[in-house]
Amino acid sequence: MMFQIKEPKSPGEMVQMDGVTALPPGGDRSFNACQVLVDRYSKTPMFLPFHEDDTAMETAIMICNRAIRNSGLFQNIISDRDPKNHFSLIDKST
């Protein structure tokens, strides 16, 4: 569904999220992908390393532990249709 996105009025109001995959392994945990979050108000990027085969739950935990802890809870997140970004599909029984 396509619709016009309103411009945010303050930092943290809206974040755009996308993943970059197929990177060469790096770091002590051999990350091979990067989740990129950009605050649409300030244009400040956050780069969060992860593994391509991480689940939606692991991706959500990584975002909570790194991005939200440092920047606060976002009011809106814009993402593509990647299944890792569909946090509503996370099995809540675990």
Rounded CA separation 25/22 (Å): 9
Q: What is the mean pLDDT of residues 55-79?
A: 83
pLDDT at 12: 86
pLDDT at 70: 78
pLDDT at 93: 45
Q: What is the mean pLDDT of residues 41-52?
A: 92
pLDDT at 43: 94
Rounded CA separation 78/30 (Å): 27
* Closest of 55, 30, 35 to residue 47, by C-alpha: 35
Query: And the tokens for 45?
Result: 């990027």
Q: What is the mean pLDDT of residues 2-25?
A: 88
Determine the structural domain holding residue 34 and report its residue range. Answer: 14-89
Q: How many domains does the chain have?
A: 1
Is residue 71 in some structural domain? yes
- pTM across the whole model: 0.74
pLDDT at 89: 47
Is residue 8 in some structural domain? no
- Helix, strand, or coil here: 32? coil
Is residue 9 in some structural domain? no
Is residue 77 in some structural domain? yes
Is residue 7 in some structural domain? no
CATH of the domain at 29: 3.30.420.10
